[in-house]
């Protein structure tokens, strides 16, 4: 039977770093040092992109752009982007090791998928230097995909470009894009998957899009949890996700569902609806 051959997972907010807090805190700090107060929502909006592209996207936001012009008497330029990134990278590197804990259910889910013969790939918005910290520390804690790649290896063309997914498909010997599932926690992840022609899945709890720590989420009432889950789900679906899952334990059953859709001949029509 024709079926899914591989799963490509994002890192921060999907497999490690519940809530994706490592980069968000640093983005807010570097703008504050430049005299611009940005909100948590603004810092999170471009999440999943290559980090220098993320800074450029933040500076392009109308409110931040206006504040920048007001403070400096001119619009931002590429030198400003580079200067902010020069502050960002060392600041992130100094704390990154503390944000490498696997998110609950990830290790068990990956074991289940591997036992079913699936390959496990990954993409990220982090650079290779950042991943040199994340990968070995996540491995020590029990999580390690079969392959990972950074935008450094695709000429800095990160999300939403599809090239990191294509490299995964090649490296893992996956035979077709429609036999691949991409799972991520940001709009950039969803768009990356859509552009690559693979099945796009948004994971909700622990995501950057939800933006809550595990303690903050657990402190919510059941109705409040449901409200934030549904809001995040709608954001993913409105940006092109084929499916959403609340947590990683729902991924194996979802892949079985996709396999049934393929076997029933509903591919590619189901993606075109």
The residue ranges of every structural domain in the chain are 6-20+100-272, 21-98
For the structural domain made of 21-98, what CATH number should be given?
1.10.150.240
User: Would you identify the CATH topology of the domain 6-20+100-272?
Assistant: Rossmann fold (3.40.50)
Which candidate in 51, 119, 179, 191 is catalytic? Answer: 51
| pLDDT recorded at residue 73 | 97
Residue 51: active-site member: yes
Is 241 a known ligand-binding residue? no
pTM equals 0.91
What does the DSSP 8-state code read for residue 162? S
Q: Tell me what percent of the residues of the chain surpass a pLDDT of 90.
A: 95
| pLDDT recorded at residue 273 | 43
Residue 80: active-site member: no
Using the predicted structure, report yes or no on whether residue 125 has a pLDDT greater than 60. yes
Using the predicted structure, report yes or no on whether residue 149 has a pLDDT greater than 50. yes
Segment 135-164 mean pLDDT: 97
Tokens read off for 78: 């590429």
Asked, colleague to colleague, whether 6-20+100-272 and 21-98 share their fold, the answer is no
| pLDDT recorded at residue 272 | 44
Q: What is the mean pLDDT of the chain?
A: 95
| Short-list 73, 148, 133, 78, CA closest to 100 | 133
Segment 136-144 mean pLDDT: 98
Using one digit for the tens of pLDDT, what is the confidence trace for 184-243? Answer: 999 999 999 999 999 999 999 999 999 999 999 999 999 999 999 999 999 999 999 999
C-beta pairs of 248-253 under 8 Å, 24+ apart in sequence: 248/15, 248/103, 248/104, 248/105, 248/106, 248/109, 248/183, 248/203, 249/105, 249/108, 249/109, 251/7, 251/109, 251/113, 251/181, 251/183, 251/201, 251/203, 252/109, 252/112, 252/113, 252/116
Give the confidence band of 267 by pLDDT, cuts at 50, 70, 90. Answer: low
Is 10 a known ligand-binding residue? yes
């Amino acid at each position: 039977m024709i079926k899914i051959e591989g799963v490509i997972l994002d890192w921060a907010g999907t497999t490690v770093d519940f809530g994706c807090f490592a980069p968000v805190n640093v983005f807010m700090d570097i703008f504050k040092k430049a005299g611009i107060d940005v909100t948590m929502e603004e810092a999170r909006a471009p999440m999943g992109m290559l980090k220098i592209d993320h800074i450029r996207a933040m500076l392009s936001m109308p409110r931040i752009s206006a504040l920048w012009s007001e403070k400096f008497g001119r619009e931002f330029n590429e030198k400003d982007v580079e200067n902010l990134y020069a502050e960002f990278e060392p600041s992130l590197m100094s704390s990154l090791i503390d944000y490498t804990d696997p998110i609950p259910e990830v290790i068990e889910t990956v074991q289940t998928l591997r036992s079913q013969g699936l390959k496990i790939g990954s993409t990220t918005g982090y650079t290779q230097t950042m991943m040199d910290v994340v990968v070995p520390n996540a491995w020590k804690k029990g999580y390690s995909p079969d392959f990972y790649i950074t935008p450094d290896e695709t000429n800095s063309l990160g999300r939403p470009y599809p090239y990191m997914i294509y490299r995964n498909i090649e490296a893992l010997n996956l035979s077709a894009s429609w036999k691949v599932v991409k799972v991520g926690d940001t709009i950039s992840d969803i768009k990356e998957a859509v552009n690559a022609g693979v099945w796009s899945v948004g994971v909700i709890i622990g995501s950057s899009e939800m933006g809550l720590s595990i303690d903050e989420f657990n402190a919510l009432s059941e109705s409040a949890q449901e409200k934030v889950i549904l809001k995040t789900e709608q954001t993913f679906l409105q940006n092109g996700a084929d499916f959403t899952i609340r947590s990683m334990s729902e991924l194996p059953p979802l892949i079985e569902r996709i396999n049934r859709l393929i076997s029933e001949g509903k591919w590619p029509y189901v993606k075109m609806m």
